[in-house]
Structures are given as C-alpha cells and as structure tokens.
Amino acid sequence: MAKKKGTSVVTFAILLLLILGLAGFGVTNFGGSVRSVATVGSAEVTTNDYARAIDAQMRAFQQQTGQQMDFQQARAFGLDRIALAQLIGNAALEDEVASIGISAGDETVGRRIQGSEEFRNASGEFDRQIYELMLERSRTNADDFETRVRSDIAEGLLQSAVAAGVRTPDIFTDTLFNYARETRDVTWARLTSDDLETQIAEPSEADLEVYHTENPEDFTRPETKVITYALLTPEMLASQIEVSEDQLRTLYDARIDEFVQPERRLVERLVFPDEAQAEAARDQIDAGETSFDVLVALRGLDLADVDLGDVTRDELGPAADAIFALEEPGVAGPLPSDFGPALFRMNGILAAQETTFEDARADLTTEAALDRARRIILESVPQIQDLLAGGADMSVLAERTDMEAGTIEWNAQVFEGVAAYTAFRSAAAAAQKGGFAEVIDLDDGGIVSLSVDDVRAPELRPLDQVRDDVTSAWIEARTSEALVEQGEALAEQIRNGREMAALGLRLETNRGLERAAFIEGTPPDFTTALFEMEPNELRVLSADGDAWLLRLDAIAAPDASTPAAEALRNDFASRTAIDFSSGITAAFTQALVNNADVELNQAALNAVGAQRP
C-alpha cells in the first residue's frame, strides 16, 4: 500500500470524514474465509494488513504517550478505525491505479528494491542473500513483495500527478512570514536565592510530611515490570568468528575510496532562487551587514541543512576551483550548483589521506566479523520463532541458541543495559504478563525476546527513602514563591513610575528576538511569554526555584524587502504548498473511496480483534 504522507489539519479532517464515511458502506460476510477484511473495487485489504496497521497505530500511541495499551483500549481510542480508514484509502488508490492502467516497469521495481537500505551489506551494496532472508523472515515471497513494490510506485505516480502544481496564496505566505519573523526587544532580570530579602528556613518534619503527601507524583516509583529476556547481539558472536585474509582484502578493495582519499574541504552551501539574490547576499556579507550564519537562519534553516561535509574537488563540480583556491576559511560565490546559484562557506582544509591495508586490518576484521554475526543472527530468527511458537521461555532460548538470558526491573525511567535499545523499551512498554513473546529487531543487528514475569503497581516511596529529595523540593518551592512575590513587588514599583535601572537588579537586554530564540539563563517559557505581551508590559516568571522579571520594550515587524527575506518567503510558500498537496491528495483519496464499491467483512474484522491481546 502507498505509505502515509505528512499530514496537516486539512488531511486530518479528511481522515476523520473517511472514518465516519465507512459507517455508510454495506457490510458483507464472506462466509468462512478470513483472508481479507475489506475490498475496494478490485483491491483487497488482507487480515494481515489490518493486524499490522493496528499494531503500528498502537506502537505510535505508546511511543508518544509512554502508556501501554491492549486492543480494547486501542479500540476505545478509535485506533482500529483509523487503521482501517487508512487501509481503505490505500486500497482505493490501488484500485484506481489498476483501472486506469498505471504500472511500473521491471527496471524501476529493481532499482527501488536494490536502493533499499535494509537489503544492503556492510559495503553498502544490495545483497540478494539478505533480501531473501528478510522476505523469508516476514513470511513473504519475492513475487508478492515485488508486486507490492510495483503497486506502491504506481500509486506514488498517481498521487504525484494529483498534487502537482499546487501554489500557496500570497496572503497566506505573507501571514506566515510576518508571524514567524516578527521580533521582540526585552529587558529582564533573574532573581535567585541570593536576592531573597529573607532567607528560607529549614523545613520541619511536619513540613516534609505534608509536602511528601501533597506531591506524591514527584516521589512515586512508576509502574515497574519484572522482565526476563533473551538477547543476542553481533558483539556477542563476533569474537567467535574467524575472518580470512581474502575476505579482508576484498572488503578493503571495495572501500578503497574510504581508505585512499584526495584533498578535501569542509563546505557549507546556501542556495538562492536566482543570481541577483545570491549576489545581494554576498554584498551584504562583504559589507559586514550580515553573516553566512544569519543568512542561513533567515531562511529558516539550521547549519546542518546546508552542511555538505568534507567534499572532494570532483564533488563540487564547477564551484571547485574557487573553493579550493581559498587558503583559509571564508565565503566563495555566488557559484553554480546543481540546485542553482549558491554561496559556499569553506570551513577547513583536509589534506589527502591514505590508510594502508595493514593500518585498516583491525577495523576491517571487526567490521567483517560483525557483518557475519548479523547474518548469523538473521539466519537464526526462524529457529527462534519456531521455539517461541512451541512455548519455549527465555531460559530455553538461552539453552538451545546463542542467546543469553537476563532479568531487568523496567519502567520508563530505566535506560541501562538492554533498556538502552529503543526497540526493547517500546516492546517492554507494550508487553503484558502472559503475553506471547516475539523476536524483536535491535538497531545494531541484534535481536531480543522478552516476557513479563510480574507487574508492580506504582508506589509512593516512603519519606525516609526520599527525605533529601523532599527537603530540596520543599526549599525550592518556598524559594520560588518568595522570589515571585518579590518580583511582583518590583514590577509594581515600575508600574508606579520607578525606573527599572534604579532597582539594583542585574539587567540584561536582548534585541530582535524571534519566536524560536533561546536565551541562556532564562526559563523554558520565556520566549512564549514574551510574544504574548504588549509593549511596556511587565511579567514575572518562575522555574527551578528562581524568578525572572521581564519587560517587553518593543515589537518590530520584519523587513520583507531584502533578498534574504524574499528567499525565506519562497521557502514558506514551498513548504505550505507541500502541505496543501497532502490535503489535496487526501481529498482525492476520499473521493475515490466515495465512488468505489467498498465491502467490509465484519466477521474478519471481529476475528482479527479477537486475536489481539
């Protein structure tokens, strides 16, 4: 099925309409067959598709909220209906593609599969053995998988045609630009415990008991699962694997470009819509009116977005001579690039390097052993799945395979050991006592399986165990209250005509702050509060036991006449056009669903639900 694109408010609204719209379609019971839960014209939504989509929705919810859920809870949240609505929409696209005869050729399908990261070996090349193992592991044959890829490509072509040529209205772009680039000038002072007019006394035992009781969430151990797991990582096998000299030589030769490198430059590239804007930006840099960093920020980009890394002369194309002519860090351009005229900043010169085979031997040996270990692990998965299906627990896996068993008391605050793996934490959050254990892929090529032995309910830790934490929290809370009160008194003096500079505060002034600005030494809500205020308004904020007194000095509208501003407006227009395109695609999909012959197999839907834990 075509993968879900980035959503917007429009897209989400259309998705809700799609969910509601399904209620109006006829429900057909297909007898004893439970292969599909729905058909849309000639396309079908299989039971496996539906089960996987529900799992994906549940995992996404658990990752976003940190809360585990079972199928009944997922149904209460409507996640099953969202999953079905998405699959119905995808099937409608598939049916439309088939009806109008759009298809992808074998060469295109081959390039898509060979370009997939999950089928590449350590040398970054497509590996048919890995491809076949991954298909076998997912219980999919090559014909079905390649048919699915062909359909995905065709659906993508249809969606691209539907959403092509979308343009953002100027008034919308201008509104976004003015909102994003309006700035604030502020004067502020931080009040700390050193500024207290009266120091906070140590809390009494009664104070601690009351605070401990009234703030249980700060001192409660979260729900904790006692988990037994079986783990196998490439590092655990690598030391047992012998790598031949021929293998090392082959790996070295395949990566010779990495070991024998020509002279390079550390380069950043900022592309402009046309030569005139690029020239104007370069003139501003030369005149000291702006900098490369500022130009990048004005485009709404981070330096990571313009960083090319270390590049060779060949990789820079026509811009190479000018950049390599720089003898020290600096800006070159405008120069041609694949995306239009650009300014290039050269940040460093890297001399040519050569790592001999002998120097690379140790790293190559480790890498080759790890790569072989990943293959061994991948090949062992079917055996482990069979053992789990036969009722094997973690100790049996450790006894009959290379896996090692262990136990961990896990909650959302535990990140040590096996819990350092994101996939383990996600699986642990979803796992239930008595649930069926599965093989879980880890990001280093390892695998883990787990079972929940016990679930310990959240428990308020006794005061004696957390006395120091309670004491610190009590003092911080009382200090914050006193400083806020002191800050409000100072604000009232300013409102009554006293100069802020006459209050003996350590004043800081910042000019031209944008909404995304972060100022060292201020609370998290500082900028948000600033953009809610009117000129000359005063406000007191608090965080972590300190208080801040701030005054908004001025609001400045953005200058839309500069080349950098024009480039930023164009960027806003492009981004919102993409968002509008997503909405149009969703509307088109909804129209296909409305006009298609949609049949739901309620018996199959119920059967999938009945099998969920």
Domain chopping of the chain, boundaries: 9-165+577-610, 185-195+465-556, 224-245+358-457, 263-351
Q: Can you tell me the mean pLDDT for 567-577?
A: 81
Dump pLDDT digits (tens) for 189-229: 999 999 998 889 999 999 999 999 999 999 998 999 999 99
pLDDT (0 to 100) of residue 571: 80
Helix (H) or strand (E) holding 308: strand 307-312
Indicate if the pLDDT at residue 604 is higher than 50: yes
Indicate if the pLDDT at residue 182 is higher than 60: yes
Compute the residue count for the chain: 613
- Closest by Cα among 213, 215, 219 to 460: 219
Q: Can you tell me the mean pLDDT for 157-165?
A: 78
Dump pLDDT digits (tens) for 37-47: 899 998 888 88
pLDDT (0 to 100) of residue 196: 92
Indicate if the pLDDT at residue 404 is higher than 90: yes
Q: Which of 14-28, 76-90, 145-159, 512-526 has the lowest mean pLDDT?
A: 14-28
Strand partners, 199: none
Indicate if the pLDDT at residue 20 is higher than 50: no
Q: Do the strands 220-221 and 459-460 form a parallel or antiparallel pair, or are they unpaired? A: antiparallel
Dump pLDDT digits (tens) for 356-397: 888 888 888 888 899 899 999 999 999 999 999 999 999 999
Indicate if the pLDDT at residue 24 is higher than 70: no
Record: fold of 224-245+358-457? Chitinase A; domain 3 (3.10.50)
Indicate if the pLDDT at residue 25 is higher than 60: no
Residue 185: CB partners within 8 Å, gap ≥ 6? 509, 510, 511, 512, 513, 552, 553, 554, 555, 556
Q: How far apart, in Å, are the Cα atoms of 418 and each of 65, 267, 374? A: 21, 39, 18
Question: Judging by beta carbons within 10 Å of its beta carbon (0-12, 13-18, 19+), is residue 381 exposed, middle or buried?
Answer: middle
pLDDT (0 to 100) of residue 21: 43
Q: How far apart, in Å, are the Cα atoms of 517 and each of 108, 175, 522, 527, 612? A: 45, 20, 11, 7, 46
Q: What is the rounded distance in angstroms from the CA atom of residue 276 to the CA atom of residue 291?
A: 17
263-351 CATH, one of 3.10.50.40, 1.20.120.1200, 3.40.630.30, 3.30.110.30: 3.10.50.40
Indicate if the pLDDT at residue 564 is higher than 90: no
Q: Can you tell me the mean pLDDT for 54-63?
A: 85
By the 8 A CB rule, do 411 and 224 touch? yes
Indicate if the pLDDT at residue 12 is higher than 50: no
By the 8 A CB rule, do 176 and 464 touch? no
Indicate if the pLDDT at residue 6 is higher than 50: no
Q: What is the pTM of this model?
A: 0.49
pLDDT (0 to 100) of residue 613: 65
Q: Can you tell me the mean pLDDT for 330-335?
A: 93
* Cα angle 550-555-558, degrees, rounded to a multiple of 5: 140
Q: What is the rounded distance in angstroms from the CA atom of residue 69 to the CA atom of residue 564?
A: 48
Indicate if the pLDDT at residue 82 is higher than 60: yes
Q: Provide the edge-to-edge strand list for the sheet that holds 342-350.
A: 307-312, 264-271, 342-350, 330-335
pLDDT (0 to 100) of residue 198: 87
Confidence of residue 177 (pLDDT cuts 50, 70, 90): confident
Confidence of residue 431 (pLDDT cuts 50, 70, 90): very high
Between the two ends of the chain, the Cα-to-Cα distance in Å is 26
Indicate if the pLDDT at residue 99 is higher than 60: yes
Instruction: Calculate the average pLDDT of the chain.
Output: 87
pLDDT (0 to 100) of residue 123: 74
9-165+577-610 CATH, one of 1.10.287.130, 2.40.110.10, 2.40.50.140, 1.10.4030.10: 1.10.4030.10
- Closest by Cα among 15, 191, 239 to 548: 191
Most distant CA pair in the chain, distance: 85
pLDDT (0 to 100) of residue 23: 41
Q: Which of 122-136, 307-321, 519-533 has the lowest mean pLDDT?
A: 122-136
DSSP labels for 99-148? HHT----HHHHHHHHHT-GGGB-TTSSB-HHHHHHHHHHTT--HHHHHHH
Equal fold, 224-245+358-457 vs 263-351: yes
- Closest by Cα among 230, 233, 227, 231 to 428: 227
Confidence of residue 34 (pLDDT cuts 50, 70, 90): low
Check residues 168 and 492 and name the one with the higher pLDDT. 492
Q: Can you tell me the mean pLDDT for 54-76?
A: 81
Q: Can you tell me the mean pLDDT for 473-478?
A: 95
